[in-house]
């Protein structure tokens, strides 16, 4: 059975949206595990405003390695 172009596009967009949201949530969880929740909450809106999935993936990897929240914030603002 061949799926319509609309259905394929819809599935692709939903998958991308799910991946984006999951990456953001996982990044926040990593940061909250390492740093004060208040500091993480302060940068949450900026992280949620990132639409580039590649950048979100890079930030997720960085969240596991950064020494302090300021370093992560600097990467987020680049």
pLDDT digits (tens, 9 = 90+) for 21-50: 999 999 999 999 999 999 999 999 999 999
Separation between Cα atoms, residue 67 and residue 51, nearest integer Å: 25
Measured CA to CA, the distance from residue 42 to residue 24 in angstroms comes to 14
pTM: 0.85
- Structure confidence at residue 4 (pLDDT): 87
Which tokens go with 12?
């692709």
Question: How high is the pLDDT of residue 43?
Answer: 95
DSSP string, 5-44: HHHHHHHHHHHHHHHHHHHHHHHHHHHHHHS-HHHHHHHH
Render pLDDT for 12-25 as a digit per residue (tens, 0 to 9).
888 888 889 999 99
DSSP label at residue 35: S
Residue 3 reports pLDDT greater than 80: no
């Amino acid at each position: 059975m061949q799926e319509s172009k609309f259905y394929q596009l819809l599935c692709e967009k939903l998958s991308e949206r799910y991946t984006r949201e999951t990456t953001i949530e996982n990044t926040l969880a990593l940061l909250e595990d390492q740093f004060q929740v208040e500091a993480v909450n302060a940068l949450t809106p900026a992280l949620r405003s990132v639409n580039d999935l590649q950048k979100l993936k890079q930030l997720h990897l960085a969240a596991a390695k950064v020494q302090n929240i300021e370093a992560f914030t600097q990467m987020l603002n680049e």
